Amino acid sequence: MSTTPPSERTRAKRIHDRGAYDRDTIYSVLDAGFVCNVAYVIDDSPYVTPTIHWREGDQIYWHGSSASRMLRRSTNAEVCLSVAHNDGLVLARSGFHHSLNYRSVMAFGVARLVEGDDMKTARLKTFVERLYPGRWDTLRPVTTKELKATTILTMPLTEASAKIRSGPPVDDEEDYALSVWAGVLPLTTVPGTPVPCERLDPAIPIPEYLNAPEPG
Protein backbone atom coordinates (compact mmCIF):
# COMPACT_ATOMS: atom_id res chain seq x y z
CA MET A 1 0.00 0.00 0.00
CA SER A 2 1.60 3.22 -1.17
CA THR A 3 1.74 6.08 1.32
CA THR A 4 3.51 8.44 -1.07
CA PRO A 5 1.44 10.69 -3.34
CA PRO A 6 2.37 10.43 -7.04
CA SER A 7 2.63 14.23 -7.30
CA GLU A 8 2.34 17.38 -5.24
CA ARG A 9 -1.08 17.99 -6.81
CA THR A 10 -2.48 14.78 -5.34
CA ARG A 11 -1.00 15.11 -1.85
CA ALA A 12 -3.60 15.60 0.88
CA LYS A 13 -2.92 19.12 2.10
CA ARG A 14 -5.07 18.90 5.25
CA ILE A 15 -5.78 15.95 7.58
CA HIS A 16 -3.06 13.87 5.98
CA ASP A 17 -4.20 10.59 7.55
CA ARG A 18 -7.32 10.63 5.35
CA GLY A 19 -5.26 10.50 2.19
CA ALA A 20 -4.65 7.21 0.38
CA TYR A 21 -2.49 6.65 -2.68
CA ASP A 22 -2.64 2.90 -3.33
CA ARG A 23 -4.40 1.64 -6.43
CA ASP A 24 -6.78 -0.72 -4.63
CA THR A 25 -8.28 2.11 -2.58
CA ILE A 26 -8.47 4.54 -5.50
CA TYR A 27 -10.01 1.98 -7.84
CA SER A 28 -12.58 0.83 -5.26
CA VAL A 29 -13.83 4.41 -4.88
CA LEU A 30 -14.01 4.94 -8.64
CA ASP A 31 -15.77 1.62 -9.24
CA ALA A 32 -18.37 2.24 -6.54
CA GLY A 33 -19.96 5.11 -8.48
CA PHE A 34 -21.13 6.16 -11.90
CA VAL A 35 -20.86 9.96 -12.00
CA CYS A 36 -17.70 12.02 -12.00
CA ASN A 37 -16.97 15.71 -12.39
CA VAL A 38 -14.45 16.78 -15.02
CA ALA A 39 -12.78 20.17 -14.61
CA TYR A 40 -11.18 21.87 -17.61
CA VAL A 41 -10.46 25.34 -19.00
CA ILE A 42 -12.02 26.97 -22.07
CA ASP A 43 -10.74 30.37 -23.19
CA ASP A 44 -9.19 31.00 -19.78
CA SER A 45 -12.49 30.23 -18.00
CA PRO A 46 -12.77 27.19 -15.70
CA TYR A 47 -15.65 24.73 -16.10
CA VAL A 48 -16.76 21.63 -14.24
CA THR A 49 -19.05 19.15 -15.99
CA PRO A 50 -20.71 16.06 -14.48
CA THR A 51 -20.63 12.97 -16.66
CA ILE A 52 -20.66 9.15 -16.45
CA HIS A 53 -17.35 7.35 -15.95
CA TRP A 54 -16.01 3.83 -15.93
CA ARG A 55 -12.62 2.21 -15.46
CA GLU A 56 -10.70 -0.43 -17.38
CA GLY A 57 -7.47 -1.40 -15.70
CA ASP A 58 -5.34 1.69 -15.18
CA GLN A 59 -7.44 3.85 -17.52
CA ILE A 60 -10.56 5.87 -16.75
CA TYR A 61 -13.10 6.71 -19.43
CA TRP A 62 -16.00 9.11 -19.87
CA HIS A 63 -18.20 9.82 -22.86
CA GLY A 64 -20.86 12.08 -24.33
CA SER A 65 -22.16 13.68 -27.49
CA SER A 66 -19.66 14.51 -30.23
CA ALA A 67 -21.28 17.95 -30.23
CA SER A 68 -20.27 18.51 -26.59
CA ARG A 69 -18.06 21.56 -26.17
CA MET A 70 -16.62 20.04 -23.01
CA LEU A 71 -15.45 16.90 -24.81
CA ARG A 72 -14.07 18.80 -27.79
CA ARG A 73 -12.16 21.35 -25.72
CA SER A 74 -10.80 18.89 -23.16
CA THR A 75 -9.36 16.52 -25.78
CA ASN A 76 -5.54 16.57 -25.50
CA ALA A 77 -5.85 19.01 -22.60
CA GLU A 78 -5.07 18.81 -18.90
CA VAL A 79 -8.16 17.87 -16.89
CA CYS A 80 -8.98 17.10 -13.28
CA LEU A 81 -11.53 14.33 -12.67
CA SER A 82 -13.16 13.81 -9.28
CA VAL A 83 -15.58 11.31 -7.75
CA ALA A 84 -17.22 11.48 -4.31
CA HIS A 85 -19.59 9.31 -2.27
CA ASN A 86 -21.53 10.43 0.80
CA ASP A 87 -21.52 7.60 3.35
CA GLY A 88 -22.95 9.25 6.44
CA LEU A 89 -23.85 12.44 8.28
CA VAL A 90 -21.65 12.84 11.34
CA LEU A 91 -23.41 14.60 14.23
CA ALA A 92 -21.12 15.91 16.94
CA ARG A 93 -21.83 17.68 20.21
CA SER A 94 -20.88 21.01 18.73
CA GLY A 95 -21.70 22.55 15.38
CA PHE A 96 -18.00 22.99 14.63
CA HIS A 97 -17.27 19.24 14.76
CA HIS A 98 -20.18 18.09 12.59
CA SER A 99 -18.80 16.32 9.55
CA LEU A 100 -19.45 13.85 6.76
CA ASN A 101 -18.24 10.33 6.20
CA TYR A 102 -17.13 10.15 2.59
CA ARG A 103 -14.94 8.49 -0.01
CA SER A 104 -13.44 10.57 -2.78
CA VAL A 105 -10.87 10.44 -5.57
CA MET A 106 -9.15 13.18 -7.53
CA ALA A 107 -7.17 12.37 -10.68
CA PHE A 108 -5.13 14.57 -13.01
CA GLY A 109 -4.01 13.90 -16.56
CA VAL A 110 -4.28 14.65 -20.25
CA ALA A 111 -7.57 13.56 -21.83
CA ARG A 112 -7.07 11.51 -24.98
CA LEU A 113 -9.61 10.61 -27.64
CA VAL A 114 -10.61 6.97 -28.13
CA GLU A 115 -10.59 6.49 -31.90
CA GLY A 116 -11.82 3.82 -34.28
CA ASP A 117 -15.23 2.15 -34.36
CA ASP A 118 -13.93 -1.13 -32.95
CA MET A 119 -12.19 0.57 -30.01
CA LYS A 120 -15.21 2.77 -29.26
CA THR A 121 -17.58 -0.20 -29.45
CA ALA A 122 -15.39 -2.22 -27.08
CA ARG A 123 -15.26 0.64 -24.56
CA LEU A 124 -19.03 1.13 -24.70
CA LYS A 125 -19.56 -2.59 -24.19
CA THR A 126 -17.42 -2.46 -21.05
CA PHE A 127 -19.45 0.51 -19.83
CA VAL A 128 -22.80 -1.26 -20.30
CA GLU A 129 -21.58 -4.58 -18.93
CA ARG A 130 -20.22 -2.89 -15.82
CA LEU A 131 -23.72 -1.72 -14.92
CA TYR A 132 -25.77 -4.59 -16.37
CA PRO A 133 -23.75 -7.83 -16.71
CA GLY A 134 -24.98 -9.82 -19.69
CA ARG A 135 -27.06 -7.03 -21.24
CA TRP A 136 -24.82 -6.03 -24.14
CA ASP A 137 -25.39 -9.23 -26.14
CA THR A 138 -29.18 -8.80 -25.87
CA LEU A 139 -29.12 -5.36 -27.49
CA ARG A 140 -29.14 -4.48 -31.16
CA PRO A 141 -25.65 -3.61 -32.44
CA VAL A 142 -24.57 0.02 -32.32
CA THR A 143 -24.56 1.75 -35.68
CA THR A 144 -21.82 3.72 -37.40
CA LYS A 145 -23.97 6.82 -37.06
CA GLU A 146 -24.30 6.31 -33.30
CA LEU A 147 -20.56 5.81 -32.91
CA LYS A 148 -19.88 8.97 -34.89
CA ALA A 149 -22.24 10.88 -32.59
CA THR A 150 -20.41 9.60 -29.49
CA THR A 151 -17.09 10.86 -28.17
CA ILE A 152 -15.11 8.82 -25.63
CA LEU A 153 -12.20 10.28 -23.70
CA THR A 154 -9.68 8.52 -21.50
CA MET A 155 -6.68 9.22 -19.32
CA PRO A 156 -4.29 7.05 -17.31
CA LEU A 157 -4.72 6.86 -13.55
CA THR A 158 -1.06 7.57 -12.86
CA GLU A 159 -1.67 10.79 -10.93
CA ALA A 160 -4.54 10.14 -8.53
CA SER A 161 -5.29 10.02 -4.83
CA ALA A 162 -8.17 9.11 -2.54
CA LYS A 163 -9.39 10.87 0.59
CA ILE A 164 -11.67 9.09 3.03
CA ARG A 165 -13.37 9.89 6.31
CA SER A 166 -15.13 7.20 8.32
CA GLY A 167 -16.13 6.58 11.91
CA PRO A 168 -17.81 8.51 14.73
CA PRO A 169 -17.67 12.22 15.55
CA VAL A 170 -14.56 13.58 17.21
CA ASP A 171 -15.50 16.12 19.90
CA ASP A 172 -13.52 18.25 22.25
CA GLU A 173 -12.81 16.12 25.31
CA GLU A 174 -14.89 18.28 27.65
CA ASP A 175 -17.91 18.03 25.33
CA TYR A 176 -18.31 14.25 25.66
CA ALA A 177 -20.13 14.79 28.96
CA LEU A 178 -22.82 16.98 27.34
CA SER A 179 -26.40 15.69 27.10
CA VAL A 180 -26.42 15.99 23.31
CA TRP A 181 -27.03 13.08 20.95
CA ALA A 182 -23.99 12.33 18.80
CA GLY A 183 -23.28 9.67 16.22
CA VAL A 184 -23.58 8.87 12.53
CA LEU A 185 -26.61 8.77 10.24
CA PRO A 186 -25.55 6.33 7.47
CA LEU A 187 -26.39 7.23 3.88
CA THR A 188 -26.81 4.56 1.20
CA THR A 189 -28.03 4.36 -2.37
CA VAL A 190 -30.67 1.63 -2.66
CA PRO A 191 -32.02 0.39 -6.03
CA GLY A 192 -35.77 0.72 -6.40
CA THR A 193 -38.28 -1.48 -8.19
CA PRO A 194 -37.71 -1.53 -11.98
CA VAL A 195 -40.35 0.45 -13.90
CA PRO A 196 -41.00 -1.01 -17.37
CA CYS A 197 -41.31 1.14 -20.47
CA GLU A 198 -44.96 1.88 -21.30
CA ARG A 199 -44.45 0.28 -24.73
CA LEU A 200 -42.71 -2.85 -23.42
CA ASP A 201 -44.20 -6.20 -24.36
CA PRO A 202 -45.65 -7.44 -21.03
CA ALA A 203 -44.38 -10.92 -21.86
CA ILE A 204 -40.77 -9.73 -21.50
CA PRO A 205 -39.60 -10.48 -17.94
CA ILE A 206 -37.45 -8.21 -15.79
CA PRO A 207 -33.78 -9.18 -16.37
CA GLU A 208 -32.11 -11.03 -13.57
CA TYR A 209 -29.47 -8.33 -13.16
CA LEU A 210 -32.25 -5.90 -12.22
CA ASN A 211 -33.98 -8.33 -9.90
CA ALA A 212 -30.85 -8.76 -7.81
CA PRO A 213 -28.61 -5.71 -8.32
CA GLU A 214 -25.23 -5.76 -6.66
CA PRO A 215 -24.59 -3.00 -4.12
CA GLY A 216 -22.39 -0.16 -5.35
**Residue-number span of the structural domain to which 158 is assigned:** 8-86+101-166
Q: Dihedral (C-alpha) 16, 189, 120, 122: value to the nearest 10 degrees?
A: 100
| Residue 57 domain-assigned (yes or no) | yes
Q: Answer yes or no: is 202 within a domain.
A: no
pLDDT at res. 14 = 80
**Domain assignment present for 175:** no
- The parts of the chain modelled with pLDDT lower than 70 are 1-3, 212-216
Instruction: Evaluate whether residue 95 is within a structural domain.
Output: no
Residue 31's CATH number: 2.30.110.10
Domain count, the chain: 1
Q: What is the pTM assigned to this prediction? A: 0.90
Is residue 179, in this structure, part of any structural domain at all?
no
Please choose, from the candidates 156, 186, 184, the residue with its C-alpha nearest in 3D space to the C-alpha of residue 170: 184
* 65 in any annotated domain: yes
pLDDT at 19: 86
Q: 28 lies in a domain?
A: yes
Mapped onto helix, strand or coil, the DSSP state of residue 116 is coil
Q: What single-letter amino acid sits at 28? A: S
Cβ atoms 83, 90 nearer than 8 A = no
Residue 82 confidence (pLDDT): 97
Q: Tell me if 61 sits within 8 A of 53, measured CB to CB.
A: yes
Amino acid of residue 186: P
Indicate whether 207 belongs to any domain.
no
pLDDT, residue 215, reads 44
pLDDT of residue 212: 55
Q: How far apart are CA 50 and CA 64, in angstroms?
A: 11
